[in-house]
Every structure is written in structure tokens, then in C-alpha cells.
Structure 1
Amino acid sequence: MGNADLRQLAALSDVTWDEVADSVVAVDAHNWLYRYLTTTVKWTNDAVYTTSEGAEVANLVGVVQGLPKFFEHDLMPVFVFDGGVTELKEAEVSERRAKRERAEKRRAEAEERGDAIEAARLEARTQRLTDTILGTTRDLLAILDVPVVDAPAEGEAQAAYMARRGDADYAGSEDYDTLLFGAPHTLRQLTSKGTPELMDLDATLDRHGISLEGLIDVAILCGTDFNPGVDGVGPKTALRAITDHGDLWGAIEAEGWQVPNADRVRDLFRDPPVTDDYTVDTDIDPDVAAAREFVIEQWEVDADEVARGFERIEESLVQTGLDRWT
């Protein structure tokens, strides 16, 4: 289901930072990191984050600039990293790869004609989370003592599971699948300026008079990352079909729709691969000096580009302290 589709159904409200302070957020790490990565690449000279050996680590700029937002507002992030790609998502992954390849071709053409602005815009679209990017991100988080959880599959599913269990107060993602995976509350806009946006599962279900299973069925008809959906069926039509016919199977039979892998996608959202093998240790002790050395000395990121980010981390630790988490 496209983000715009599910957004039409989700119960969303703006909240203040004070309202969500002193909370733990299970953050979909790949989603969070990719947004900072693409923003950095789009607006920053690549010399800032390219090592002498040619490795690009724009992610380190993004992490240093993004983490202070949590600390400054008394939020403890727990970054949940994706595991293996779910088989049902292979088509989506292939399409994303094809889009990157098309963007790369257009970027090269823009460079040839001297259009630096268009080249930079398209360069952001070609980014992917490489082993180097994921590895250096995890190393930096370890130095800063920020908790990390490894999901067996989808990070969003694991984050939602942690929120359901009460090990986190919120899931954190800019996407909407945490709703389908059953996260009671999701914080969005954690990578944006301004205040967060709260997505409320119970309020969403109450608004439409359906169960979580019904919402999942609606999403499957519209299309998700795991299935293409039915042509021409949007959220209003899908919601009406599920309401009128009871469930996904009733809607498919009544309308004569073809929904490949509907049962597998339904099962995935209802019972996704998750793990209990994690610890959320909020008694953290960030080594900012070591983190600064790691980013600037070891990975040769321009010191000026991350100076303010590290200053904000240090200031936030002094102003808010960490003893509240112990």
C-alpha cells in the first residue's frame, strides 16, 4: 500500500516533544538512516564524507546530525535493524533497484550537461544501505552506547512488536507499516523539522469500525510492499469492500478480484517473524570523544560538518543527564 493510501485511513495527530518525553522509541533503523543518508548526499559536497580510499560514509554525517533530536527531547532511541529480506518483498526490492539504476543513468546525463543541481538531486535517489554504511552506523551507535536490536526480518515488524510488548513506548518510522504490524503508537517525523506526528492504532480502528485484521485486509487490496494490490482499488473502495463483505476472502469472492499471495501476505502482517532475543538497556554512557575520533579520524569525515552535531549531543547529555534512564 502506498504511503498516501494508508495515510488517508490512519489516525494522525501532532504532538509536542514534552508529551512524548521520557519515552523509549523502537526506531526502524533502515528507514531512519536512509532518510538522513539521502538528505546528506543531496545537500552536501561529497568530499565531506568520502575517504581517501573512496569510501562514502554520508551516513555518519546523518547519524551525528540526527541523534541529538532524541537526546534533546528526553527520548531514548533503540535502533532496530532489518534482518533478511522477506521473500514476498523481493519484487519490491527489485523495483527499487531498477529505480536506482534509472536515476543513476539520468544523474550521469545531468553531469555531462553540467546540471549540478539535477545531478545532486538524482544522486540522492541512487543511494542504498551498503555493508559499509550499515557497519559504520552500528559501530558509531555502539561507541555512543545507543541500544541496537537485530530483527529476524522486517525492522518495522520488530519495532511494532517491541511497542506491543511494552519494551518501547513507541515505534518510530516514517512509513505506515508499523500500523499494520500492530504498533499501538508510532512516532513519525523524527527526521523532520518541527514536532512529531503520532499515529494511533486504536483510534484508527475505532474511526473506521474495523479490527486490525480488517485493516490488514484493506491494505492488501490496495497493495503493500509485499503485494501489488488490485488495480483501481484505493483505500475508500477497499474499506467499503471489507465492511460490506466481512473480510478479504469475502471481498475477493464477491468482487471477482485476483489477489496473488493474499493468504501469505495476510499471515505475514498477522504473525511476522520477530524475536524476543534482545535487551533494551537504557543505562547508557556515550563516549562522545571516541565517537568524534571514529568519525573524523578513522573515517575522514570533515570535522566542520559534524562539529555542531557532536556539540549538541554533549550539551544534551549535560542538560538532561542520563540518570533518569537507570
Structure 2
Amino acid sequence: MKGKKIAIDAYNAIYQFLAAIRQTDGTPLMDSKGRPTSHLSGIFYRTINIVESGIIPVYVFDGKPPEEKSAELRRRIEIKEKAMEKYEQARKEGEIRSMKKYAQMSSRLTNAVAEESKELLQAMGIPVLQAPSEGEAEAAYLTHKGYTWASASQDYDSLLFGADRLVRNLTLSGKRKLPNKDVYVDISPQFIDFVTLAKKLELSREQLIDIGILVGTDYNPEGVKGIGAKTALKIIKKYGSIENAIGKDLDEKDIDFDYKHIRKLFLDPKVSEPNSTIEMENPNEDRIREILVNEHDFNEDRVANGIARLHKGMKISKNMERQTGLDKWF
């Protein structure tokens, strides 16, 4: 990925920062006024790590979500509210491990958090794009059209939206604890090439979307009752589409949603062309210090060191971008 532009699903990455960068009891990093700063710490230091690796990050922020996603958004809010209730209970009982677990689950990305993240990235000279709707769809579009080399997100939906290449774990680092176990695993980037994937599975993008619909997507979270990934794959491989499988291995009464419309949401999402060249710019050091040090009490020396690393990393990334990549010969 050295010298390549990577379109990062900004909300997806910021949620990771809000959930992961916390104290041992689950308390997020905060400034002297009690405002959360976990997202700013993640944006600043982990973006610097990415740039130092020779990668050019392009953060894509969500716009207005489609109406069809409202049920999924309500479901997520309910999960967070229940997690907060369990957090309060764990706090009363002094269960530190449970406190962190439920605090992470209750993380919320507010408009203020999103705007602060944008301001810091822009001060750092990192490209920031505003999607008209789903940031994940816009990132996939940028990759499919060649504005960026790959999309970065934890969500496999990026492939359904048309990303030719997907990178997972790009904004994560270190080790991750397995759920409900005292076991930690190393985190490293995972790369998926859609052409290779589709060829190996002998599936088209439309067929992969149909598999997603049967299992459940953000637009139909429940999917089709009794159908998991392996069964969905078997059905679509056998019949080619949901339409062809209805009345055979699929019962029409179990599909109580407009699957054709959902398919269209993935095939033709609301996206837009970039209105300017996607390039890194020189960091605004004074603005970075104003945001991190003056407004949010970050350590001045650590921020100064980060700025120096950012300058050095940008030179590396820009030099790598100018060099001829090996992939042009294949």
C-alpha cells in the first residue's frame, strides 16, 4: 500500500477510536472540561502511523443516511442504551472488566465528535471528503473509479458497494482481546481483492449482494429466517439470484422486504465526484496546537513530536507516490 491513496470510512474509524482508546475502567480520555478526546487521540496518532508507513489516507465522512437504514440505526441505539445500563450496574458493583466492555459498546459518535475530527484532519493536511450519504459507499466509489487505490473499513459491505479492494484493520493497532476470553491476538491489516474473491467463489457482485440480503444487511438487519452465510451461498450458487430461488429453496412469505430495492441501494448508492484534487497539504502547526493543546489539554511536547513525525511521514508518502509501482507491470 506504500504510495497509494486509501479511502477510509471515517465514521467506522472514529467509532474504533472511541471504543478502544479508554482507561481500564472504560472511561474515555477526557480534557479538563470533561469532554471526550479519545477520537482526537486516535485521529492524530494513528493517522500519523499510517502516513509514516507511506500510505496517503483520505477520510470520507457520512452524510445523511438513507431512510431504509432507520431500523438498523434504531437497533444500534437500543443496543447502546442497554449497554449503558449494564455499565452503570457494573460500576455500582465495582466490576472493572465489565465496565470497560459495556462502556465500549455504548460509544456514541456525535455531530460534535465528527466535526472536531474533521477540523483536526484538515489542520493536519489530510484529505477530507464529505459523502452525500453513506461514507462507506462513497469510499467504495472512489476506489472503483480509481481516485483511491483501496477502501478501508471494518465492514464487508464495502464490497457490496463496489470497492475493488478492501483493507480491514488499517486504523487498528496492537493486540485485540477476544470476546469473553483472556486471550489477545495480534492485529494486522487484512487485504481483500474483489476480482480475486469473485473469481474464486464464482460469483458476480450482484450475487454477492443477494447473499448479503439473505443473511441480513443494514437495510434488512434480520435477513431471511434460518439462512446463514453457507446456506445463502449454496442457494445463490444453485439458482443465480433470489428471484430464481423463490418458490424452490426460498419461501416467498419469508421475504417480507423489498429485496430488489435493497439490491439497488448497493448497486446504485448516492455518491458524488470529488470537487478537487485529492492530495495531502502542508500541516497547519498552529491550528493543530490550538485544537489539541489549547482546547483539549494534550501534552505540548508529545504534540510537537507528532507534528514532526507527520512532516517526515508526508515526505515519505509523497516520494512513494511518485515512484513507479510494481503493480503497473501486472
Deviations 1:179-209 (A, max 9, x none): 1111111111112335421111111111121
Q: CA deviation at 1:140?
A: 0.3
- In 2, the alpha carbon distance for the partners of 1:40 and 1:294 equals 19
| Counterpart position of 1:13 | none
Counterpart check, 1:281 vs 2:278: yes
State whether residues 28 and 37 of structure 2, in contact with CA within 8 Å, keep that contact through their aligned partners in structure 1: no
Where 2:210 maps in the other structure, the secondary structure is helix
Deviations 1:51-92 (A, max 9, x none): 42x322321111112102221111111110111111111111
| Counterpart position of 1:154 | 134
- In 2, the alpha carbon distance for the partners of 1:267 and 1:24 equals 28
Q: CA deviation at 1:305?
A: 7.3
Further displaced range: 225-234 or 39-48: 39-48
Residue identity matched to 2:21: T
- In 1, the alpha carbon distance for the partners of 2:259 and 2:272 equals 24
Counterpart check, 1:183 vs 2:163: yes
Q: Structure 1's 47 and 180: CA in aligned 2 closer, same or farther, altered over 3 A?
A: closer
For normalisation by structure 2, the TM-score amounts to: 0.85
Residue identity matched to 2:160: L
Where 1:41 maps in the other structure, the secondary structure is coil
For normalisation by structure 1, the TM-score amounts to: 0.86
State whether residues 79 and 148 of structure 1, in contact with CA within 8 Å, keep that contact through their aligned partners in structure 2: yes
Counterpart check, 1:219 vs 2:216: no
- In 2, the alpha carbon distance for the partners of 1:240 and 1:195 equals 31
Counterpart check, 1:34 vs 2:31: no
Q: CA deviation at 1:231?
A: 1.4
1:57 to 37, 40, 48: 37
State whether residues 106 and 122 of structure 1, in contact with CA within 8 Å, keep that contact through their aligned partners in structure 2: yes
Counterpart check, 1:197 vs 2:194: no
- In 2, the alpha carbon distance for the partners of 1:196 and 1:62 equals 17
- In 2, the alpha carbon distance for the partners of 1:111 and 1:305 equals 32
- In 1, the alpha carbon distance for the partners of 2:244 and 2:11 equals 36
Counterpart check, 1:296 vs 2:293: yes
Query: What does 1:95-174 correspond to in 2, within 5 Å?
Result: 95-174=75-154
Q: CA deviation at 1:293?
A: 3.1
Residue identity matched to 1:204: L
1:256 to 247, 251, 259: 251
Further displaced range: 163-172 or 69-78: 69-78
State whether residues 161 and 182 of structure 1, in contact with CA within 8 Å, keep that contact through their aligned partners in structure 2: yes
- In 1, the alpha carbon distance for the partners of 2:153 and 2:275 equals 19
- In 2, the alpha carbon distance for the partners of 1:25 and 1:270 equals 21
Where 2:121 maps in the other structure, the secondary structure is helix
Deviations 1:127-147 (A, max 9, x none): 111111111101101111111
- In 1, the alpha carbon distance for the partners of 2:60 and 2:103 equals 26
Q: Structure 1's 43 and 86: CA in aligned 2 closer, same or farther, altered over 3 A?
A: farther
Where 2:22 maps in the other structure, the secondary structure is helix
- In 1, the alpha carbon distance for the partners of 2:16 and 2:307 equals 19
Corresponding residue pairs, total:
305
State whether residues 49 and 61 of structure 1, in contact with CA within 8 Å, keep that contact through their aligned partners in structure 2: no
Name structure 1 gaps, 5 residues minimum.
1-19
Where 1:25 maps in the other structure, the secondary structure is strand
Where 1:253 maps in the other structure, the secondary structure is coil
Residue identity matched to 1:56: P
- In 1, the alpha carbon distance for the partners of 2:265 and 2:280 equals 34
- In 2, the alpha carbon distance for the partners of 1:295 and 1:44 equals 24
Counterpart check, 1:90 vs 2:84: no
- In 1, the alpha carbon distance for the partners of 2:145 and 2:22 equals 37
Q: CA deviation at 1:50?
A: 3.0
Q: Structure 1's 323 and 45: CA in aligned 2 closer, same or farther, altered over 3 A?
A: same
Counterpart check, 1:239 vs 2:220: no
State whether residues 29 and 37 of structure 2, in contact with CA within 8 Å, keep that contact through their aligned partners in structure 1: no
Note the aligned Cα RMSD (angstroms).
2.3
State whether residues 22 and 29 of structure 2, in contact with CA within 8 Å, keep that contact through their aligned partners in structure 1: no
State whether residues 167 and 280 of structure 1, in contact with CA within 8 Å, keep that contact through their aligned partners in structure 2: no
Q: Structure 1's 154 and 321: CA in aligned 2 closer, same or farther, altered over 3 A?
A: closer
- In 1, the alpha carbon distance for the partners of 2:99 and 2:280 equals 44
Q: Structure 1's 203 and 197: CA in aligned 2 closer, same or farther, altered over 3 A?
A: same
Q: CA deviation at 1:300?
A: 2.5
State whether residues 57 and 132 of structure 1, in contact with CA within 8 Å, keep that contact through their aligned partners in structure 2: no
State whether residues 25 and 168 of structure 1, in contact with CA within 8 Å, keep that contact through their aligned partners in structure 2: yes
Q: CA deviation at 1:44?
A: 8.2
State whether residues 26 and 163 of structure 1, in contact with CA within 8 Å, keep that contact through their aligned partners in structure 2: yes
- In 2, the alpha carbon distance for the partners of 1:71 and 1:278 equals 23
